[in-house]
Amino acid sequence: MVGKLLMRGMLAGIVAGLLTFGFARIVGEPQVDQAISFGEKVDAANGEAPEPELVSRHTQAGVGLLTGVVTYGAAFGGLFSLVFAFAYGRGSRLPARPLAAWLAAAAFVALVIVPSIKYPANPPAVGDHDTIGYRTGLFFLMIAISIATMAFSVSVRRHLLAKLGPWNASIVAGLAFVAIIAAVQIGLPSIDEVPAEFPAAVLWKFRVAAIGMQAIMWTTIGLLFGAWVERGERTGMRAA
């Protein structure tokens, strides 16, 4: 059972990766090209020699991007299926499709929206290269805290369910999640290394594209995986 779910999750992730690649090529890559052009102009103005191109821009935006997003989709699709396998029939009474949709929405909030509020994505050539390790560490710390807080909120809802009912328990759990995340984001250091001269429109479009890619990824995984699981259950029932 788990093996079949894992396979479906990875296949859903691959399909999601292909759709995300198409979106990224059309919407995201033009902003990356403009950001790289800006960085090259700044380096030239400072008298710095251009760095050698180890991998061509054409390869980065084509095969490199495709490989990256499809691998990402397959990996997270597999992890998603394992979380689904744990929750299905245990912590949730929802049917397969609604549960998959809710889990995908929760993953999108915890892994994408919450970290992006504090540390939004920046295009290439933006930021200090000397602080990339520090910035990356803070970003992943925010993700870890977000996941832990999401799990805590789900636990709070489960414990309050019998006492308050589904609606009120969900409200309390949601408020707890928002309050903890808000406190953490206020406490963590802020980072703003975008040059004042960088085009605001390019930055905005890049960040929207980055969130859009993740939205396509998680929407596809949630809906497609749920549909496949439900179809598999119906096929199994007819066979029985």
pLDDT digits 0-9 by tens, 159-216: 998 889 989 999 999 999 999 999 999 999 988 777 778 888 888 999 999 999 999 9
**3-state DSSP assignment of residue 54:** coil
Which residue numbers in the chain have pLDDT < 50?
A: none
In the 3-class helix/strand/coil scheme, how is 142-172 assigned residue by residue?
A: HHHHHHHHHHHHHHHHHHHHHHHHHHHHHHH
**Which residue in 147, 236, 66, 73 sits closest to 81, CA to CA?**
73
Q: In terms of pTM, does the model score above 0.95?
A: no
Long-range CB contacts (within 8 A, 24+) of 83-87: 84/5, 84/9, 84/225, 84/229, 85/1, 85/2, 85/5, 85/6
Radius of gyration for the chain, computed over Cα atoms and rounded to the nearest angstrom: 21
Residues linked to residue 88 through DSSP beta bridges, in sequence order? 92
Residue 208 φ/ψ, nearest 5 degrees: -65, -40
- Condensed to tens digits (0 to 9), the pLDDT of residues 78-91 reads 999 999 998 887 66
How does DSSP assign 73-103, residue by residue?
HHHHHHHHHHHHHHHBTTTB-S-HHHHHHHH
